[in-house]
Amino acid sequence: MYYSSMKQASHLTNTAGYMLSKLGQAVTEEFAERLRKLGLRPRHCGLLAAIRSMPMTSQLALGQALNVVPSAIVPMIDDLEALGAIIRVPDEADRRRYAIQLTPKGAALLQQATAIALKLDDVMLGSLEKDERETLHRLLDKLSVRPPGR
């Protein structure tokens, strides 16, 4: 089991939010461990994917797309630049701004991270039948459309 093996002792631990939180924490820790050999953290993977889907966009726009404050996005971009996964390209319209571009190394790292994530999915979802996996993905997709509490 990916979250605490304690008995479901209260209504709190029986809530979907609690169980998803504990499962998410455990999976994130395992994903982070598997990514370590690439020099990446889970937060870098989302950023690499955003850069691939939004090429030549600004740091600010990437932060907004990922719901990450500017003070947090800059160190993530610095990390990826140090790895050679991205480059900052001066914006022709505004020389004070930079557009972020994925490098071939960054594309390869994203591909490797995706393979790691898919293998982890297989482990995590191993006890589910194919139709149950499809249902879970459909339900998670449906839930992700609207942020919690809104």
3 state SS of 101:
strand
- Output the pLDDT for position 148: 59
Give the bridge partners for 102, in sequence order: 86
pLDDT value, residue 150: 56
Residue 140 in this model has a pLDDT that exceeds 70: yes
In angstroms, how far is CA 14 from the centroid of its own chain? 26
Residue 69: exposure state from Cβ atoms within 10 A (0-12, 13-18, ≥19): exposed
- Each residue's pLDDT tens digit, 97-126: 889 999 999 999 999 999 999 999 999 999
What domains are defined for the chain? 28-141 (1.10.10.10)
Whether pLDDT at 42 is above 50: yes
| Percentage, residues of the chain above pLDDT 70 | 90
pTM of whole model > 0.95?
A: no
- Residues with Cβ within 8 Å of 59's Cβ and at least 6 positions away in sequence, in order, are 70, 73, 74, 77, 98, 100
**What sign for the dihedral angle of Cα 35, 38, 40, 46?**
negative
Residue 1: per-residue pLDDT: 46
Mean model confidence pLDDT for the chain: 89
